[in-house]
Amino acid sequence: MQWEFIKKRLSGLPIPDFRYYPTTGSTNEEALNWAAQGAANGSLVIADQQTSGRGRQGRKWITKAGAGLALSFIFRPDENEKKHLQLFSPLGALAVCQAIKTYLSIEGQVKWPNDILINRKKAGGVLAEAHWQAGQIEALVLGIGINISLSSVPEQMTLRFPATSLEAEYHHKIDRLDFLRAVCSQVFSTRPLLGSTTFMELWTELLAFKGEKVILETSENNGIQGVIKGLNAEGNLILQEKNGFKKSFRMGEVRLLPIT
Ligand code: BT5
């Protein structure tokens, strides 16, 4: 990837400024630092390779050189968005699924809350992190990692959930910068829907394992089994347990695994 090519491909999108790193630790880390220095709403950090890419709860995200996409948006949430901060990470996952559909004509799904699946395998992940100052949110960093080429997929043995790449599912070469543009454009067109009924409907429609039995691991228990029923208005997952009772789970310290 080269700076001038990226700039050209992103032209016309509402991105006031972007920073490109051939290699960096984590684009989220760069974006949080840039946010603290005053980056404008919609600014973007992109890297070709990450050496300490972050997943949720201290987990790692692998971005190998020349193989995938690692990007982090810096958003300055408005008053309405501040009420729906927890929906920024699903926003990233929805946008990637929509880009997969419009650009590749294949179906992606969202493994609640924010993993991107194709054919029940993980092709991407999202991590939202906030920059706070004096108890006020100053910026929301929306980090998105996507596996594009076959070589972007880490050794399966190192993973707890099966992984894939867009090219493995699409069976053709994909231009990374074209796909980057498709994702950015979906992020910007979906952002105004944050918290709306349309947003929740879109997310519900794309929800993976709906009607299927899964295990939810939380910090308080080591595995609740139940059938996924859908989402409530806050984006919490509704699970129906064996005894028929429905329980909702908040995003955060939760891990979802299907029972195959
Ligand atoms: C995520 O966490 O899936 C969030 C990943 C967010 C990555 C982006 S890249 C740009 C931005 N900058 C960052 O530093 N991060 C964001 P989680 O649900 O916790 O999943 C992490 C788990 O996914 C790891 O423990 C691995 O098992 C697995 N994993 C790591 N790299 C993978 C890859 N390339 N493809 C598929 N699975 C992977």
Block means of pLDDT (10 residues each) for the chain, length 260 residues? 89 96 98 97 98 94 97 97 94 98 97 95 96 90 98 92 97 96 98 96 97 88 90 93 92 73
Give, using CA atoms, the residue closest to atom 16 of ligand 1.
Answer: 143
Pick the atom of ligand 1 nearest to 71's CA.
10
Atom of ligand 1 nearest to the CA of 125: 3
pLDDT of residue 254: 65
User: Comparing C-alpha atoms, which of 30, 28, 137 is closest to residue 85?
Assistant: 137
| Ligand 1 atom with minimal separation from the 47 CA | 10
224 CA from centroid of ligand 1 (Å): 23
Predicted confidence at residue 193, as pLDDT, reads 97
Residue minimizing CA distance to atom 27 of ligand 1: 159
Which residues are registered as beta bridge partners of 118? 121
Q: Which of 61, 69, 165, 167 to mutate to test the pocket of ligand 1 (most atoms within 8 A of CB)?
A: 61
144's CB contacts (< 8 A; 6+ apart) are 69, 70, 71, 72, 73, 92, 95, 96, 124, 125, 126, 183
Residue 172 CA to ligand 1 center (angstroms) comes to 24
Alpha helices in the chain (DSSP H): 3-9, 27-36, 79-82, 88-104, 166-170, 176-190, 197-206
With a CB cutoff of 8 Å and minimum separation 6, the contacts of 228 are: 112, 207, 209, 210, 211, 212, 214, 237, 238, 239
Cα–Cα distance for residue pair 116/111, rounded to 1 Å: 6
pLDDT of residue 222: 76
Distance CA 3, CA 20 (A): 6
User: Considering all CA atoms of the chain, what is the largest pairwise distance in Å, rounded to the nearest integer?
Assistant: 59
Residue nearest to atom 23 of ligand 1 (CA): 61
Is the distance from the beta carbon of residue 73 to the nearest atom of ligand 1 less than 6 Å? no
So what's the pLDDT on residue 260? 66
Is 70 touching ligand 1 by the criterion CB < 6 Å? yes
Q: Is the CB of 67 under 6 A from ligand 1?
A: no
Do the beta carbons of residue 138 and residue 76 sit within 8 Å? yes
